[in-house]
Amino acid sequence: MQEAAGRLSRRNLLKTGLVGTLLVGVGSVGLALERTKVEGQTPALAVLSATEYAVLVAVAERLCPALGEGAPGATALGVAKTIDGLLTEVDDDTQKGFKIALRTFENALTGALFGERFVPFTHLSPEDKTRTLASWRDSRIGFRRTVYRALGGLVWAVYWGDARTWPRIGYPGPRDVAALRAQYVDNLVDLDALRATPHGSAKEN
């Protein structure tokens, strides 16, 4: 979480120069005024706004879509809500960077500048959302790749960290600690015995 979110600090994003240019344009170009499509009821949030949350939900669902029984999608598992909670653990600069990344990714102006789309990300069809994500992933512009890797890293970490996704890849889950200790009992060090013997002491004759 910390590593992926750290890529999205406001300071790091502004270093690219691209973010500053886009945000200036956001206030003056009609494309940037199109509203985010918010579906369903927004839960209580700790860091993100309702629109930022809607963008994250849309991104997460395309990166981790539902594939039938035993393979729930990111929305069903509440991945975006979990990420909102995790953002309370990072500094204010990183939170702002994450918000900038979501808003820039959603913005229709951003898509138009790269000949990608002319509507916000949340208004796209599922197929066009997937295509847009791929264009950010494979972009020659470092800022776009950074946003994709950071958003994707957070989404995938939360998604695959949920035990309900493990049947999807045939992962049985972590081994029982007691069973592992029994299996490797001959290789274990008796820490209690080590603590009971003062370091460097010698047995008197």
pLDDT digits 0-9 by tens, 45-88: 999 999 999 999 999 999 999 987 778 999 999 999 999 999 99
Q: What are phi and psi of 163, to 5 degrees?
A: -60, -25
Residue 189 included in any domain: no
Q: Mean per-residue pLDDT for 95-104?
A: 90
Residue 141 included in any domain: yes
Residue 187 included in any domain: no
Q: What is the mean pLDDT of the chain?
A: 80
* Model confidence pLDDT, tens digit, residues 146-176: 889 989 999 999 999 998 888 888 888 777 7
User: What's the domain count of the chain?
Assistant: 1
Q: Note the helical H segments in the chain.
A: 2-6, 10-15, 18-26, 50-63, 79-86, 92-106, 108-113, 126-137, 142-160, 166-169, 177-183, 191-196
* Model confidence pLDDT, tens digit, residues 106-121: 988 877 777 788 889 9
% pLDDT > 70, the chain: 70
Range of the structural domain that residue 18 is part of? 2-173
Does 12 score more than 90 pLDDT? no
Residue 184 included in any domain: no
Residue 163 included in any domain: yes
Give the model's confidence band at 143: pLDDT under 50 very low, under 70 low, under 90 confident, else very high: confident
Residue 179 included in any domain: no
Q: What are phi and psi of 192, to 5 degrees?
A: -65, -40
Instruction: Write down the pLDDT at residue 13.
Output: 54
Q: What are phi and psi of 164, to 5 degrees?
A: -70, -15
Instruction: Write down the pLDDT at residue 200.
Output: 52
Residue 16 included in any domain: yes
Residue 89 included in any domain: yes
Instruction: Write down the pLDDT at residue 139.
Output: 92
